Structure 1
Amino acid sequence: MQRTEPQNYLIQGIDPIQLTEQFGSPLYVYDGGTIRRKVAELLHAFAGINMKIKYACKANTNLAVLKLMREIGVELDVVSPGELEMGKLAGYNASQITFTPSGVPFEEVREAVETGAIVNVDSLPLLEWFGQTYGNTKPCLIRIKPNVAAGGNIKIMTAHADSKFGISVLLLDQILEVVKKYDIKIIGLHQHTGSDIKDAEPFLKVADILFETAKHFPHLEIIDLGGGFKVSYLPGDAITDMDLLGEKISERFKTFCKEYGRELQLWFEPGKFLVSESGYLLVKTTVVKEDPARNFVHVDSGLNHLIRPMMYGSYHHILNLSNPDGALKSYNVVGYICETDTFASDRELPEVRKDDILAFLNAGAYGFTMSSNYNARLRPAEVLIDNGQARLVRRRETLEDLLQTQLGM
């Protein structure tokens, strides 16, 4: 097996092993330079288009990350009142935040509208309520379900016919009837196909559906094509060709705007694409167990910190930072949770020893945000590295944090 690990693995010139010595293990680390690079890639791909990036912050809501996004001109897409408030704490104006709910209580929608966010309506009952409540006084977008299946696996596909998300394009007549009934101010149409989409074709297919649907709404300002761009999980992994995708969608968008009669703004809502590659989960080996069937590497973390491998079957490349030149051996890398808790199976790594530091790559998205206190375990600290400086942006939890909301003592 060819080695892929750098011999001296550094993040902006900082040794991650030193980070664990300073801040402890396990530890989430985010590289601000990578986030800046991913934003630049997307902007470059759509140069010449009136395009806006709305970061789908459910991927990573650390306030330092949100502040970085704001500083580099990226706006927000949120899915809950909590995320909306975090965006405001990070310095965003409510008008820079889109609220894209999924079957939430209508009171949450009211809160978002009243604070000044733009709501993305995802169901006919919500559209009816929105019309009854606001008529033509407040703008909104409509989330269309184009009935296209695309994505890494069924759990992260969001635009197929059986998906809970959005209003089916087949219900267009009913949508138009409700809009006309209340004279609702529809300023945009939105769709989100899914995640880990590699090829341009699904994006182009849903774009064509949305462009055609848009012709029924005469006062649009925005076409929102969501996100879902494929990121690299292992060396040599195929990813979305952003320049090619940008060229093809831009061409179609320009044609649509010409047919529509005026220029609209094109929105994208990447989440994982912007932050996944920036993140590392650093862990320490606690036990190396040589079993007749498997060699097991136990680490001081688990599905409570990074649930994606168990939930989605996702792949995270693993580096042995402490022994990068060791002889390759096959391991199951497992966590400390009292469940089947596997990060990787039959993974070849340089020989792993007790107290070695391992790095799980692509941990910047849906890592800490999906973490829990299962088994009464504490969540790790988070560090942001930007401009060559490492800064603690979330302290490690304590037992007091776990107990502070309990009333049974």
Structure 2
Amino acid sequence: MFSIQNIGVEALAEQFGTPVYVYDGHKIEEQIAKMRTAFAGTNLKIKYACKALTNVSIMKLMRKNGVDIDVVSMQEAHLAILAGYEPHQIQYTPSGVAFSEVQEAVEMGLRMNLDSLPLLEKFGQTYGNCFPICLRINPHIMAGGTLKISTGHKDSKFGISIEQAEEINAIVQKYDLNVVGLHQHTGSDFKNANVIIEAAEKLFDLTFKYFPNIQFIDLGSGFKVAYKEDDHVTDMEKLGKEVVKVFNNFCQKFGREVELWFEPGKFLVSESGYLLVRANVVKHNPARNFIGVDSGLNHLIRPMMYDAYHKIINGSNLDGEEKEMYDIVGYICETDTFGKDRLLPKTKEGDIMVIKNAGAYGFSMASNYNSRFRPAEVLIYNGQTHLIRQRETMEDILKNQVVIDL
């Protein structure tokens, strides 16, 4: 594992340029181990929600550590295959996609997780009980930091409402569907076990009432990680003890062992990632000071989209005693703020700024807005530094454009 003190940000910036995403492979492995320890005593299966970070090398690292994968598009599924996953290790959880995509997933042999009554009906009409399926249930539980990252409440687009259980069962019986799993995901950044246990118990009730052939219960994820000092995080040890207890009680009442699934994304990769950017300009205005850097919301949209807090460090001047208050802003022609009112060591043009918790939903949500290039990605693992994505060039910007004569 590395820290800001020994990561060598100046050397990395010199070697790979800026902006650049840097990932700590051993931090990812540490998070995987935390989950296995927390839920020891169950038949646990971890599925990486790869939408958080879809670099094939990161997916290969997950596979190396015995972690299966959850995808939400066929493009992610093809990346998972490139990373070495077998189709049966890939769970496909679509949301409002064309049925042709579902058909492609079936033909590929992916595990199907269906999230609407119309899709369930069409799947039954087309395939009957030829394939095992999972059902995504909306448990009507509000969880997560904000509405933008809460997915299990009554007004969410995700999943089949728990109140439609009888309609679900009618379709299942009509087509003799082979339901082997139940799934729920309440949302990101829940802080205690109450939320996930309440959702689990709703799935347990459905299982007892309608689904005697269940092989697994998938409780999603949403574990809270730290974004700042003294930040409230999910107590994984405490959560694990409480979930293991209720889950094993369920299995005992059910009469056989059932697999316990989770599908973490942010929890596995967020803290592993750093976005290194360079200070282009330090501007002292009468009202406030700005550090303008060579990146923006096109590379890390979370602060502007979710009001997300990311700690920012001056990697070129970690221990400077003279400090000033700054806003760290991007180079995009929009209001583009990475961090507001940050007390940092005095910063000068050319300093390398380090944005933490950049592993999840950083590069994966990056764009070419303002026709800017997307950054390079680097993995540090077993003491070696690996370039795992090249920085884009003008050729990448133009390669799919068709320039016509006018």
TM-score by length of 1: 0.97
Select between 106-115 and 359-368 the one with higher mean Cα deviation.
Answer: 106-115
1:220 to 196, 208, 214: 214
In 1, the alpha carbon distance for the partners of 2:295 and 2:317 equals: 19
Name the counterpart of 1:317. 311
In 2, the alpha carbon distance for the partners of 1:386 and 1:272 equals: 19
**Distance change (3 Å), C-alpha of 1:235 and 1:364:** same
CA RMSD of aligned residues (A): 1.0
In 2, the alpha carbon distance for the partners of 1:198 and 1:21 equals: 39
What SS is found at the alignment partner of 1:91?
coil
In 1, the alpha carbon distance for the partners of 2:344 and 2:6 equals: 24
In 2, the alpha carbon distance for the partners of 1:38 and 1:50 equals: 18
Name the counterpart of 1:404. 399
Unaligned runs of 5+ in 2: none
2:80 matches 1:87: yes
1:342 to 337, 340, 345: 337
Name the counterpart of 2:376. 381
Q: Does the aligned pair in 1 maintain the 2:325–2:343 contact within 8 Å?
A: yes
Q: Does the aligned pair in 2 maintain the 1:14–1:388 contact within 8 Å?
A: no
Instruction: Tell me which amino acid in the other structure corresponds to 1:244.
Output: K
Instruction: Tell me which amino acid in the other structure corresponds to 2:109.
Output: G
Give the drift of 1:12: 9.9
1:141-160 map, 5 Å: 141-160=134-153
In 2, the alpha carbon distance for the partners of 1:17 and 1:43 equals: 36
What SS is found at the alignment partner of 1:159?
coil
Give the drift of 1:259: 1.2
2:192 matches 1:194: no
Give the drift of 1:350: 1.1
**Distance change (3 Å), C-alpha of 1:383 and 1:11:** farther
Name the counterpart of 1:299. 293
What SS is found at the alignment partner of 2:378?
strand
Name the counterpart of 1:60. 53
1:50-129 map, 5 Å: 50-129=43-122
In 1, the alpha carbon distance for the partners of 2:112 and 2:4 equals: 38
In 2, the alpha carbon distance for the partners of 1:110 and 1:16 equals: 46
2:362 to 356, 362, 367: 367
The alignment-based identity, stated in percent, is 58
Q: Does the aligned pair in 2 maintain the 1:272–1:365 contact within 8 Å?
A: yes
2:125 to 132, 139, 145: 132
Give the drift of 1:36: 0.3
- Return structure 1 stretches of 4+ with deviation > 3 angstroms: 9-14
Instruction: Tell me which amino acid in the other structure corresponds to 1:203.
Output: I
In 2, the alpha carbon distance for the partners of 1:210 and 1:349 equals: 48
TM-score by length of 2: 0.97
Give the drift of 1:13: 4.8
Instruction: Tell me which amino acid in the other structure corresponds to 1:390.
Output: T
Give the drift of 1:325: 2.2
CA deviation vs aligned residue, 1:140-175 (integer Å, no higher than 9, x gap) = 100000000010111000000000000000000000
Aligned residues: 401
In 1, the alpha carbon distance for the partners of 2:117 and 2:403 equals: 43
Instruction: Tell me which amino acid in the other structure corresponds to 2:342.
Output: R
What SS is found at the alignment partner of 1:17?
helix
In 2, the alpha carbon distance for the partners of 1:323 and 1:13 equals: 13
In 2, the alpha carbon distance for the partners of 1:277 and 1:70 equals: 19
In 1, the alpha carbon distance for the partners of 2:3 and 2:273 equals: 13
Give the drift of 1:204: 1.2
Q: Does the aligned pair in 1 maintain the 2:135–2:183 contact within 8 Å?
A: yes
Q: Does the aligned pair in 2 maintain the 1:46–1:250 contact within 8 Å?
A: yes
CA deviation vs aligned residue, 1:37-82 (integer Å, no higher than 9, x gap) = 0000000001111010000000000011000000000000000000
